[in-house]
Copies of this chain bind each other. A is one copy, B any other.
């Protein structure tokens, strides 16, 4: 993989052709998302990978983002509404299992994490979970470009519709950001050939 070339290649696709992303490529992207760096290893979000056209039509109703239905798949990143003791307990069990250590030996870690997240407001924990989901979005965009799958990250959607249709409330989740996956329609998408617009790296970065 040439990361810089892939980042140059990708763009927020506006129009897609009618072609399905293979299971192999989709699995690669989803695997990368699951391996995303995550603070404390908590992975405070879940992903819904939607191919079903009817559900996508309902999700995209009234939206200016035609990509929701036009693309091959839609990924919905849904973050925790809060970080609870239950989440920490689950993490500790998983750490114990994966690393072959006793849960009792992880008591300090449990207490540290549990007291930290409990000391913050639900809103702070929710914002934190949202930000963690955006790291996964960044990974997904790179993974997609790596296998030459086009993608469109979208924030302009009705979260209430998404939360309702996907039953997120009962799962303690809310829709954070969505990402369509598919293949660009170069004739219909004037942005496909447009040069990428970025400030010079010297303006982005101050060296100290």
Q: Chain A residues in contact with chain B, CB under 8 A?
A: 1-4, 7-8, 10, 12, 28, 30-37, 39, 41, 43, 46-52, 55, 91, 94-95, 98-99, 127-128, 130-132, 134-139, 141-143, 146, 153, 155, 166, 177, 194-199, 201, 204-208
Contact = CB atoms under 8 A, between A and B. Distances in A.
Q: How many copies does the complex hold?
A: 2
A83 to B, nearest CB: 13
Contacts of A201: 30-31, 34
A168 to B, nearest CB: 11
A132 B134 CA distance: 7
Contacts of A142: 3, 138-139, 142
A32 B48 contact: no
A49 to B, nearest CB: 5
A46 B205 contact: yes
Given A99-B197, A134-B131, A195-B98, A204 B32 contact: no
Contact of A197 (B48, B94, B208): B94
Given A3-B146, A51-B207, A127-B130, 7 more contacts: A1-B2, A7-B35, A31-B201, A34-B201, A43-B199, A91-B197, A131-B177
Contacts of A35: 4, 7-8, 196, 198
A4 B32 contact: yes
Interface of A is mostly: helix
Contacts of A51: 207-208
A135 B12 CA distance: 14
A143 B204 contact: no
Given A131-B134, A197-B94, A201-B30, A37 B50 contact: no
Contact of A37 (B10, B28, B199): B10
Contacts of A8: 35
Nearest to A52: B208
